[in-house]
Amino acid sequence: MAKSTPVKKSKAPPPVTPAPQPEPKASGAAPNVTLRWDGARISEWNALLKRVPRSSLTQCFGYATAMMTVEGWKPRLGIFERDGQPIGLVLVLEKRLARAVRVAKIHRGPLLAPEAQDWGIVGVAYRLLRQAYPTGLLQWPSVIAEVPAGPLATTALTWAGWRHQPGPGYRTVWLDLTPDEATLRARLDPKWRNKLRQGEKSGLVVEVDRDGATLPWLLEKHEADRKERKYRAAGSKLLTRLRTVMHKDGDVLVLRALLDGEPVAGVLIFGHGVAATYQVGWSGPEGRRTRAHHLLLWRACLELKAQGRVAFDLGGLTPDVEGINTFKRGLGGEEVELAGVWN
């Protein structure tokens, strides 16, 4: 039976100055928000996810299923409601260590619908999570908060009872897919756009795989590249499981660039709600020479737009590896930094 957890009576979050979009707005008195656990149907979850323009892959139901199968994390699903109406969701992954320690992690959540983008609601949502997951000797919760870094986020999460851990927050580039094709192309960095033209004139053929049948080929290349260049990335077992549980909903996209019939580059993208995440990319020598990756990412943007996606997460920014960050910034998106890790 589903349970709703009301927020305990307390003072409203400290008043804050209204923040520019896309940050949540300021609020007054504490809103009537509750958290309902483990009562959501998959259809309800997916419908709510689609109400969040910039949803995260790690808060979708397919990710929960894959993490349970591959890494043994037990998912717990929560729905935030305001006056009885759903306004947001959260996926918590739980695991027991030595049958005693309860580990819980929230990766880039919770997610709130646009009408709930209010710092008062944000503060109450995180307080409800704090009440459900207190920190203690045998309680080890953590959250990578899906709110923009800054003093407003610090105020809201500290008021909610969370403690910030040292270190920068997750950074990525979000690309708005709602403009028409001509506008998207005009927003590309001029050097990036020039390399795209080279790719379009190089004789490459782009193969679009909406089922993920070519994923084993791409993951073989990805694993070899990961070992050679020694960077961290999701493992092939998890990515394969994600493909298995997500492709029936049309949320898997693999694009390959072929030169004279031979694949020279490829990308893997996962959809979630009306957003998508760039997950894996690989280019061989011929792919780099022909600017295949520029062509693949551009064609991916058009494919996602045709699917009705409105936002594209370019997969995070890391210490620059052969210009990857520069490459992602070149698509003309908005660079964001999240509020970091809290426990």
pLDDT-derived band of residue 233, with 50, 70 and 90 as boundaries? confident
Cβ neighbour number for residue 19 with a 10 Å cutoff: 17
For residue 27, the model assigns a pLDDT of 52
Q: What pTM value is reported for the model?
A: 0.89
For residue 42, the model assigns a pLDDT of 85
Is 268 inside a domain boundary?
yes
Cβ neighbour number for residue 24 with a 10 Å cutoff: 24
For residue 64, the model assigns a pLDDT of 94
Are residues 330 and 135 in contact, defined by beta-carbon separation less than 8 angstroms? Answer: no
Which ranges constitute the DSSP H helices of 99-177?
119-132, 151-159
Tokens 């995070």 appear where?
316
Which residues form the domain of 195? 173-336
Q: Which of 164, 189, 209 is the last residue of a domain?
A: 164
Q: Are residues 140 and 234 in the same domain?
A: no
When pLDDT is averaged across residues 201-221 and rounded to a whole number, the result is 96
In this structure, what is the dihedral angle of CA atoms 146, 148, 151, 154, given to the nearest 10 degrees? 10
Q: Are residues 220 and 290 in the same domain?
A: yes
Query: Rounded distance, CA 139 to CA 118, Å?
Result: 29
Query: Rounded distance, CA 255 to CA 296, Å?
Result: 7
Q: Are residues 91 and 62 in the same domain?
A: yes
- Measured CA to CA in angstroms, residue 246 lies from 59, 76, 242 at distances of 13, 19, 6
Query: Rounded distance, CA 210 to CA 212, Å?
Result: 6
Q: Are residues 130 and 68 in the same domain?
A: yes
Are residues 255 and 207 in contact, defined by beta-carbon separation less than 8 angstroms? Answer: yes
For residue 223, the model assigns a pLDDT of 87
For residue 20, the model assigns a pLDDT of 34
Is 343 inside a domain boundary?
no
Q: What is the pLDDT of residues 295-311, one digit of tens each?
A: 999 999 999 999 999 99
pLDDT-derived band of residue 13, with 50, 70 and 90 as boundaries? very low
**209 contacts: CB under 8 Å, gap ≥ 6:** 215, 253, 254, 255, 256
pLDDT-derived band of residue 1, with 50, 70 and 90 as boundaries? very low
In terms of pLDDT, which residue wins out, 220 or 2? 220
Q: What is the pLDDT of residues 69-85, one digit of tens each?
A: 999 999 999 999 999 89
Q: What is the pLDDT of residues 123-143, one digit of tens each?
A: 999 999 999 999 999 999 999
In terms of Cα–Cα distance, which of 120, 114, 98, 112 is closest to 10? Answer: 120
Q: Are residues 147 and 177 in the same domain?
A: no
Beta bridge partners of residue 124, listed in sequence order? none
Q: Can you say whether the dihedral through the CA atoms of 259, 263, 264, 267 is positive or negative?
A: positive
Q: Are residues 21 and 156 in the same domain?
A: yes
Q: Are residues 279 and 143 in the same domain?
A: no
For residue 291 the two structure tokens come to 């600017």
For residue 5, the model assigns a pLDDT of 43
pLDDT-derived band of residue 202, with 50, 70 and 90 as boundaries? very high
Q: Are residues 303 and 184 in the same domain?
A: yes
For residue 38, the model assigns a pLDDT of 84
Count of structural domains, the chain: 2
In terms of Cα–Cα distance, which of 42, 56, 96, 39 is closest to 73? Answer: 96
Q: Are residues 58 and 121 in the same domain?
A: yes
Query: Rounded distance, CA 87 to CA 128, Å?
Result: 14
Query: Rounded distance, CA 315 to CA 313, Å?
Result: 5
In terms of pLDDT, which residue wins out, 289 or 22? 289
For residue 221, the model assigns a pLDDT of 93
Give the angle subtended at the CA of 94 by the CAs of 89 and 100, to the nearest 5°: 145
Query: Rounded distance, CA 109 to CA 131, Å?
Result: 16
Is the pLDDT at 172 greater than 80, yes or no?
yes
Q: Are residues 88 and 198 in the same domain?
A: no
When pLDDT is averaged across residues 98-114 and rounded to a whole number, the result is 94
What CATH number should be reported for the domain holding residue 136? 3.40.630.30
Q: Are residues 109 and 178 in the same domain?
A: no
